């Protein structure tokens, strides 16, 4: 499958499924009219029947009155319920794509506008063009190693396809960025959920101020909408207000929060939380932790202790260790990731505030240098703005306008 075909399928979703949903929505008024029409004859028949029964057998009037409404209303209620179920669809592929496009607007306005200017100035793809493109990618915090790898791939592709001018070069750049991120690996964003009936433990780590607690609340909301029972553990017992902040999120999304007093041992909180989650037969336990990176040694020792307690109570747990990073910090986020990777077995990155930075290229730097997948990205303040990371949608968000033209030209 070509890159353009794969990109279009990912952005737009399955056309057949979209048509089904549209068809149901378009016929909604017609269905409602049919239901109204179905109600009226039922009422007329009931009225006639009641008159006959009232004339012939007056004594059984009471029971018939109680049974007839059920006979009249049950089919109507059933049909209405089916319409409601059809309408409750997951977000469409296009709506998710639009979230990435909107969330990467600052990066796109800064980075892509410069790429467009570069393409406009250089009609030919030559070494000067590559050198300027290299500088632009470095300014977007894509990372030195990633930029060097991308330049090698671009030069090879330009030579292989004998590309002479800059028309369509954005599509080639996009394709190679996706290849670099994925590196042949699949299912990078999937959470390591345990089988039904077993508790999945997700440990969140990260420095203070990156949006860790907010991200926990949003992830809990996401899992709840998938039908999971979620319990939260308030393990950040040292930051003032951290426990209360998690409790607010717990109340907002409808999750129980297991906590102790401020200053308590975080490992003891985790022990209580695991017991409580097991007793309540919860599906997922999400654990908050402290993030005082200035006390690096103490913090890392504390995280190791928390990890030991969780592993002792549930073998092979935690099943995910998610590191929350603030995208607006750029290369500092990369340094934090390296530090936490040394102390804990980080399985995935949650990149917060991606909508608030012009340096969204940090996603590629993290993946390529640390070999840790970015599993979720924060694309806004709303509850559902925490989205599973998707390489194609991410790259589309970077080059939206240019790729829209290329997709159109490809179709024509």
- The predicted pLDDT at position 251 comes to 96
- The predicted pLDDT at position 13 comes to 64
- The predicted pLDDT at position 72 comes to 38
Burial class (CB in 10 A: 0-12, 13-18, 19+), 370: middle
Alpha helices in 88-168 (DSSP H): 93-103, 105-107, 113-121, 127-139, 144-160
- Inter-residue contact 229 to 283 (CB < 8 Å): yes
Residue whose C-alpha is closest to residue 190's, from 362, 2, 348, 67: 348
Reported residue count of the chain is 412
- Inter-residue contact 212 to 234 (CB < 8 Å): no
pLDDT along the chain (412 residues), means of 10: 64 50 41 42 40 42 41 39 39 82 84 82 89 88 86 91 83 85 69 93 93 95 96 92 95 96 93 96 96 72 90 94 90 84 86 85 82 90 90 84 71 62
Residue whose C-alpha is closest to residue 322's, from 198, 177, 182, 223: 223
Distance between CA 256 and CA 189 in Å, rounded? 26
Distance between CA 323 and CA 338 in Å, rounded? 11
The residue assigned the tokens 């049950």 is: 74
CA distances from 248 to 6, 211, 218, 253, 379 (A): 41, 14, 12, 9, 21
- The predicted pLDDT at position 84 comes to 34
28 CB contacts (<8 Å, ≥6 apart)? 83
- Inter-residue contact 205 to 293 (CB < 8 Å): no
State pTM to two decimals. 0.76
Distance between CA 121 and CA 132 in Å, rounded? 11
Residue whose C-alpha is closest to residue 260's, from 277, 247, 250: 247
Helices (H) and strands (E) in the chain, counts: 18, 8
Residue whose C-alpha is closest to residue 253's, from 280, 279, 286, 281: 286
- Note the Cα 233 to chain centre separation in Å: 21
Beta bridge partners of residue 377, listed in sequence order: 351, 387
CA distances from 377 to 152, 201, 221, 303, 370 (A): 28, 20, 15, 23, 17
Residue whose C-alpha is closest to residue 230's, from 266, 210, 197, 254: 254
- Note the Cα 74 to chain centre separation in Å: 39
- Inter-residue contact 268 to 184 (CB < 8 Å): no
- Inter-residue contact 246 to 232 (CB < 8 Å): yes
């Amino acid at each position: 499958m070509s890159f353009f075909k794969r990109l279009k399928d990912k952005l737009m979703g399955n056309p057949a499924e979209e048509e089904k949903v549209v068809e149901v929505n378009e016929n909604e008024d017609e269905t409602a009219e049919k239901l109204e029409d179905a109600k009226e004859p039922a009422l007329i028949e009931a009225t006639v029947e009641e008159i006959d029964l009232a004339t012939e057998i007056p004594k059984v009037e009471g029971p018939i009155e109680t049974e007839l409404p059920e006979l009249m209303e049950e089919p109507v209620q059933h049909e209405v319920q089916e319409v409601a179920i059809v309408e409750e669809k997951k977000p469409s592929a296009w709506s998710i794509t639009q979230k990435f496009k909107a969330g990467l607007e600052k990066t796109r306005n800064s980075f892509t506008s410069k790429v467009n200017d570069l393409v406009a100035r250089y009609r030919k793809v030559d070494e000067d063009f590559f050198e300027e493109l290299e500088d632009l990618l470095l300014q977007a915090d894509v990372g030195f190693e990633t930029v060097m790898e991308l330049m090698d791939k671009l030069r090879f592709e330009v030579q292989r396809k004998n590309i002479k001018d800059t028309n369509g070069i954005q599509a080639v750049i996009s394709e190679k960025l996706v290849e670099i991120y994925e590196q042949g690996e699949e299912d990078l964003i999937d959470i390591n959920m345990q089988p039904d009936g077993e508790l999945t433990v997700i440990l969140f780590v990260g420095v203070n101020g990156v949006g860790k607690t907010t991200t926990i609340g949003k992830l809990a909301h996401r899992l709840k909408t998938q039908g999971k029972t979620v319990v939260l553990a308030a393990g950040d017992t040292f930051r003032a207000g951290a426990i209360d902040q998690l409790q607010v999120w717990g109340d907002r999304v409808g999750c129980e929060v297991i906590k102790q007093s401020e200053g308590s041992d975080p490992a003891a909180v985790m022990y209580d939380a695991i017991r409580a989650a097991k007793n309540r037969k919860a599906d997922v336990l999400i654990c908050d932790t402290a993030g005082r990176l200035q006390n690096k040694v103490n913090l890392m020792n504390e995280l190791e202790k928390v990890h030991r307690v969780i592993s002792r109570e549930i073998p092979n747990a935690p099943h995910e260790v998610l590191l929350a990073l603030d995208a607006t910090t750029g290369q500092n986020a990369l340094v934090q990731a390296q530090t936490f990777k040394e102390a804990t077995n980080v399985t995935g990155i949650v990149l917060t505030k991606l909508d608030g930075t012009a340096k969204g290229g940090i996603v590629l730097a993290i993946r390529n240098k640390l070999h840790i997948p970015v599993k979720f990205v924060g694309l806004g303040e709303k509850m559902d703005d925490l989205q599973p990371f998707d390489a194609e949608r991410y790259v589309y968000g970077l080059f939206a306008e240019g790729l829209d033209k290329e997709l159109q030209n490809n179709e024509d």
